[in-house]
Amino acid sequence: MYQLDCNYCDELVEGEAVDPVKRDAKTHLKENHAEDVLTHLKEQYTNVPCQNGCGYTVPIGVENVAGVECPECGHDNFSSLLDQYVFFRITANKP
């Protein structure tokens, strides 16, 4: 059994396999807490490499820079950062 206990509400996303839990957790966070997750990411990181492979380093932790969209190629890096965020928060419950 795998689960993600949402840090922003009382939602508990759980399931027998990790992939469906990852998918459902990402959907929950994107639909309900995208701004909260983005704020957390800005506190954790100053810069992240663009996941589109353009080579640009996106300054997400810098004031007055909107979101995690790459100013060089326009790629929205939120989905890949959300993958990382969810990956480190899913736990396995042993029976």
The predicted model scores a pTM of: 0.84
8-66 pLDDT, tens digit per residue, is: 999 999 999 999 999 999 999 999 999 999 889 888 888 889 999 999 998 886 655 55
pLDDT band, residue 3 (cuts 50/70/90): very high
Beta strands in 28-67 (DSSP E): 48-49, 57-58
Spatial separation of the C-alpha atoms in residues 22 and 24, rounded to whole Å: 6
**How far is 53 from 35, CA to CA, in rounded Å?**
25
> What is the spatial distance between Cα 41 and Cα 20, in angstroms, rounded to a whole number?
23
Question: Scanning the structure block, which residue is given the tokens 């353009």?
Answer: 54
Please give the pLDDT value at position 93: 84
pLDDT-derived band at 2, boundaries 50, 70, 90: very high
Rounded CA-CA distance 18/33 in Å is 21
